[in-house]
Structures are given as structure tokens and as C-alpha cells.
Structure 1
């Protein structure tokens, strides 16, 4: 689910009314600038105006949900091994920030050094969202395949219930959505938390059975890649015709932002929330003027 570089300028975005501007969801936090899935990345995303925070969750050997994308810890920490075989204490002892040297830390960003090298648990992320000075949404992706199979969704439902976030969205509270590329995982979450919106993620091409705009039972949101939007822009209209929403990932280039606006998508998932927010506000000002 990495970003796909834009190969050509996108279409000029049609005028968009304020209420039609898509939601900006920070992919692993403001991860173009801070180490992904760290508290620093999410604090920066909130400061940059992201509407919601996206994270991937995996289960540790001692049944804690942690925010880590890869099956192994090698890429984003100074350790080695498979997340599911390591206990939380071991994972918390690793350095999760020093690997990211391509974008130096912004010392003017409030709390920029806070949590930059530390593992983030889902519970800490939920607490951060609840403590924010405005309503912050959540988009939680369960990663599969995993040795723990359905235990990941069971534990996710328990954690959300502990925070009172397993119910239908309420004003002033974080608005959780659960996402997965696994239809089985989505079905599990639908049974465990029937009031939560579900996002079925698709990559590369639209599965034949869903080309008419349908989605798995109980799912109301399609998550499509930038590549899919470029190849099959009609997918958005077909999903909307069925009453579904469409989220697009991972949108980091101006051409793809413009494609999203032209297609009328409902949410943009990006590693660069400030960049996308600035472009949306420019678009809005153009409409007003």
C-alpha cells in the first residue's frame, strides 16, 4: 500500500463545494516527514490539520496491538525478527526512528522529538486521538496473513470497546473505521463491531465481482489505490451509485490530488497531510472567489 509516483499531470480539478471536499487521512501519520507509525508522526499530522489518522495494527507474541506495517521489524527499527514472535517489552526496546534520515526532524514542530524513536501501541494512539483539541478520526487496518488470524480482530474489538469506540460515530468523539485487504477480516469486524464503518481495500485492479460498484456484504467504503484511480476512474461513480464512499491511497503527488477532486472521492489517504490540506484549501478559496 505504498505511494505510486504520478506519471503525468492530473486532470484539472472541477470546482468543488466546501461540503464536497474530501477528508484528509494521515497515512501512518505525517510519515513523509517523521518516522511512520510513531507518536511524533501522528502529533505532526494533527498539527498539520489531518481529519483522521491511519494506522496498521499487528499482534505481538503477548497479545498487544502495535502500530507496525511490515511483518518484520527490520525496515523501520534497529532490530530483526517477526512482530508476531516478539513480546511488547522487546519491541519497545528498539529504536523506531533513527532509520529515517531523508527528512530531518523539524525542530520548530511542537513535540517534534516526543515519541520519535519509540514504538507506538494502538492504545497510545487512541489516547492521543481522544486528547486532541478537536475531533480526530481513525482508520485502522488489520494486516493479514498473520499467525494469529482472527485473534487480531478480536483484540481490536476489545481495545476499541475499552475506549468506548466500538459504537456508531458520535459527535466530538474519534470516528473509527476498520480497513483490510482481507474480506474475511472485514467480515469478522462486521460481526464483532456491527456499528463501525468498514473499508474494503483493493489494489491494482478492481476484482471482477466488484466492477459493478458492489462491495462485500456489510461494507460501505471502497479503498482504492492511486493506480486504480488512474486506470479505472469510473470506479468512483459506480461505487457512489451504490451508495458507497471511496477512499484513495496513497495520494502524495499533486496530479493524484487533482484526480481525486475531479472524481469526487470521499477521503484522501496521504503521507503528506499538510500538502494535501493546503491544496484543498486553495481549491476552496478558488471556489469562493
Structure 2
């Protein structure tokens, strides 16, 4: 990654921190190094990625269970080995604003390369900055708790399991699965956890309640639109509030007015512009 322009520092419940969802995924193919480099150039406060296990137990940055939507291949991630996944093109599906594809515009052979979690974290560690780094483990999966065990192995190798340290990424592990979060708490108790809640979730999590050992809520933006009081309910209990996926200007302003801690967006450059 290239050095970025420094963004304004986030305040304590002042300007929300802005996190790039799968990188700057409105501008570049999601989960590619190009998407994260673009996000970094905007001066974001953090990045977000999803991880899945390959058949030979490598963690790769892919959202979907299947490769079909975001590559030129087909099949289920968990049944394919890393070498096969690395043969696929992960960029040419993405259309640019002028209607051309990355295949048409591609001058960088690295652009369509599959991104492993280790490679992404290596690139962040090399920046020597405390970039907020949100990692979502995807469930259900045939591998169950092996996902979290492999994640902790990678984090430990890079010195990222000892809490937030200066000049290193500040990792948060996220999941919709309470069981996955509890596994992480047992394996790496100093890594903060984020419980993700979508609009269809039970209302118990809207009163400020969180599973034991979890102090961050990740709210679907639709919840915040419909029930903004949920933000204050969690803040009263001392929880941080992250909101996803915030792309519309009205939602950005709503989140800022409510004092959320983190805005997760496909359009982080636009969000930073709106927040001034």
C-alpha cells in the first residue's frame, strides 16, 4: 500500500470513525488489495473484511459462500483449495463508473488476485499505524470453530492478540454468531469482539443487552433508521456502537447526530467528505 493522506482524528463520540466495507468496494472490486489501497488513500480510520476457510484451511477475504459473484469461477469456497482459488480472476466482474470493466481497464496483473487474510494484515502491519481492522468470521460453515482457531493463529503470528498496541492494526473480530464470539473470547481474550445484529434480529439486543464479554454492537443501518433509540441504549451501558452499511447521505448524518462510534461504508471517501 502507498502512504495515505492523514485523515482527521476521531473524537470521543465526536466525528465517527469511518471504516471501509470490504475496502472502498463501491470504487474497486471488493476484498481486493486495490480496494483496500483506495480506501487507505482516502484517509479512512479503518477497514473491514470477511474471512472464509478454503479446503486446505487458508483464510481468504471473500464474503459469499460461493465464488460465482465475485470471480470468473464457480463453486463453494470451503471445497476449493487455495491454489485453485488463486487461479481465478477476482476483479473483472466489477464495472467502473464509465461502464467499462476491470478486465478492460486492467493494467495491473495484481488487481484481480485473490486476497488472503495474512496478506492483507501484512500490508496493514507494514504501515505502522493503529488502523481499526474489523474481521468478520462467516458462519455457518462446515469447519465450525476451526475458522476462529485459524484466525487466532494468523493474528498471533503478527503480534495482534495482545490488545491495541501503538503502530499496529487494532483488530476487532465480528460475527452474527454468538458461539463464534465465545470461541474467540476463549482463544484470544484480549481481542475486542463485535456482535453483529441485522434488522430481522430479536429485539433483545436493542435494549442495550450484549453477550457476556462483548462490548461492541454492530447494527444494521435499517435498525438505526427505524429505532434510533437503540444507539443510546447501548451507549448508556458503555458499549461502542458500529453501524453498517452506511452509504446514503441521510444515514451518514443520522449516525453522526446520534454519536455512533464507527460508520462502515462501501463509500468511505464520500462519508469522510460529508463528515467534513
Is 2:40 aligned against 1:46? yes
Q: Paired residue for 1:175, among 148, 160, 170?
A: 170
Q: Paired residue for 1:188, among 183, 187, 212?
A: 183
Deviations 1:116-149 (A, max 9, x none): 2110000010011112264322000000000000
Tell me which residue corresponds to 1:286: none
Deviations 1:18-56 (A, max 9, x none): 861111110000000000000000011001111111000
Deviations 1:242-262 (A, max 9, x none): 000100000111000001011
Give the C-alpha shift of residue 278 in structure 1: 1.1
CA contact (8 A) 1:64 1:88 kept: yes
Give the C-alpha shift of residue 115 in structure 1: 3.2
CA contact (8 A) 1:40 1:113 kept: no
Bigger relative CO (Cα 8 Å, ≥ 6 apart): 1
Q: Please give the residue correspondences for 1:203-222 in structure 2 after superposition, counting only pairs within 5 Å.
A: 203-205=198-200, 207-222=202-217
CA contact (8 A) 1:34 1:103 kept: no
Q: Which runs of 5+ in 2 are unaligned?
A: 1-9
Is 2:249 aligned against 1:259? no
CA distance in 2, matches of 1:159, 1:34: 26
CA distance in 2, matches of 1:181, 1:57: 13
CA distance in 2, matches of 1:37, 1:261: 26
Is 2:154 aligned against 1:159? yes
Deviations 1:143-173 (A, max 9, x none): 0000000000000000000000011101221
Is 2:43 aligned against 1:71? no
Q: Paired residue for 2:19, among 22, 25, 36?
A: 25
Q: 1:239 to 1:128 in 2, by over 3 A?
A: same
Tell me which residue corresponds to 1:270: 265
Q: Paired residue for 1:57, among 40, 51, 65?
A: 51
Give the C-alpha shift of residue 114 in structure 1: 6.5
Q: How many residues align?
A: 263
CA contact (8 A) 2:128 2:167 kept: no
TM-score (norm 2): 0.91
CA contact (8 A) 2:135 2:173 kept: yes
RMSD, matched Cα: 2.0
Give the C-alpha shift of residue 102 in structure 1: 3.9
Q: Which runs of 5+ in 1 are unaligned?
A: 1-15, 282-289
